[in-house]
Amino acid sequence: MNVLSNINNKAGFTVLEVLIALVIFAVGILGVATMQISSIQGNSKGRQISEATDVVSSQIEMMLSLDYADIVDTNGNGTGQDLDGDGVDDDGGNFGLDDNTLATADGSDVVDGYTLFWNVAVNHPTDRTKTIRVFVEGPQITPFSLDMVRVDI
């Protein structure tokens, strides 16, 4: 009898145990696949933001290389608005820097699929300075801006 009981009690997995293990494994693989997709999307978004920042930085460097007199407030909405010198726009705006559309900007350009436009405020934040705000718009990025102040020396 000892011999027969050893033959009938073989160690192993039942079909149900194997199916449960496969379901657990499949759920784990789906989680990893979802994480991979999110990672790829995040990397793509980061690359686009980096490209847009590089384009804006190049524009700022180009404008910094200009003579002070060549940085012009073409539409005049950022010039002479702080007549009392208190640092507040006497016309109630933001020295023309908040004109964040192509129609109201002092200049614009399209570089590598990104649309750049900028505004200039003269004597802001103080005399003999120009504040330049460069906006960028592009595919699949939230528009953003960078400011710089150029001092007349």
Report pLDDT digits (tens) over 59-74: 989 988 999 999 888 8
Q: Where are the domains of the chain?
A: 13-151
Percent helix, percent strand, percent coil in the chain, to nearest 5: 40, 20, 40
Please choose, from the candidates 143, 88, 94, 87, the residue with its C-alpha nearest in 3D space to the C-alpha of residue 115: 143
Please choose, from the candidates 54, 50, 73, 51, the residue with its C-alpha nearest in 3D space to the C-alpha of residue 62: 54
pTM of the model: 0.70
Cβ atoms 129, 107 nearer than 8 A? no
- For residue 13, the model assigns a pLDDT of 80
Report pLDDT digits (tens) over 98-133: 766 767 788 889 998 999 999 888 888 888 889 999
Strands (E), the chain: 107-111, 114-122, 129-137, 144-151
- For residue 35, the model assigns a pLDDT of 95
- For residue 64, the model assigns a pLDDT of 86
Residue 103 in tokens: 């129609």
pLDDT greater at residue 81 or residue 135: 135
With bands split at pLDDT 50, 70 and 90, how would you rate the model's confidence at 43?
A: very high
